[in-house]
Amino acid sequence: MAKIYVVDREGTEHELEAELGWSLMEIIREAGLPIEAACGGCCACATCHVYVEPEWFARLPEPEEEEQMMLDEAFEVKDTSRLSCQIKMTEELDGIRVTLAPEF
Ligand code: FES
């Protein structure tokens, strides 16, 4: 089983088992971590915002236009910001590390 590492808003890192084919948002939500994901993964809310560790960020496919548009309107956006509902878990992402962005 692949793993992902998620740092919560208190700075605690969680190792989560990651089902291939699920989005990172689904994996994080299923584990009970506080990710709102208000739109359920439709790329319409930006409440699944995460910061991706730079070395992993560089390996991700480019965001689709809708994701980029949502990120343009999100708060506290950084160079490594992504919407976790738009990142599909693959074997290549085994070990990826992300941090939950602040809630508003
Ligand atoms: S869950 Fe709404 S944009 Fe990701």
Q: Is the CB of 85 under 6 A from ligand 1?
A: yes
Query: Of 55, 9, 92, 39, which Cα lies nearest the Cα of 84?
Result: 39
C-alpha 101/C-alpha 51 separation (Å) is 6
Residue 85: inside a domain: yes
pLDDT in tens, 85-101: 999 999 999 999 999 99
d(CA 1, ligand 1 centre) in Å: 25
The pTM of the full predicted model, rounded to 2 decimals, is 0.96
Domain count, the chain: 1
pLDDT(104) > 90: no
Residue 82's domain is classified under what CATH number?
A: 3.10.20.30
How much of the chain exceeds pLDDT 90, in percent? 98
d(CA 12, ligand 1 centre) in Å: 23
Q: Which domain holds residue 27?
A: 2-92
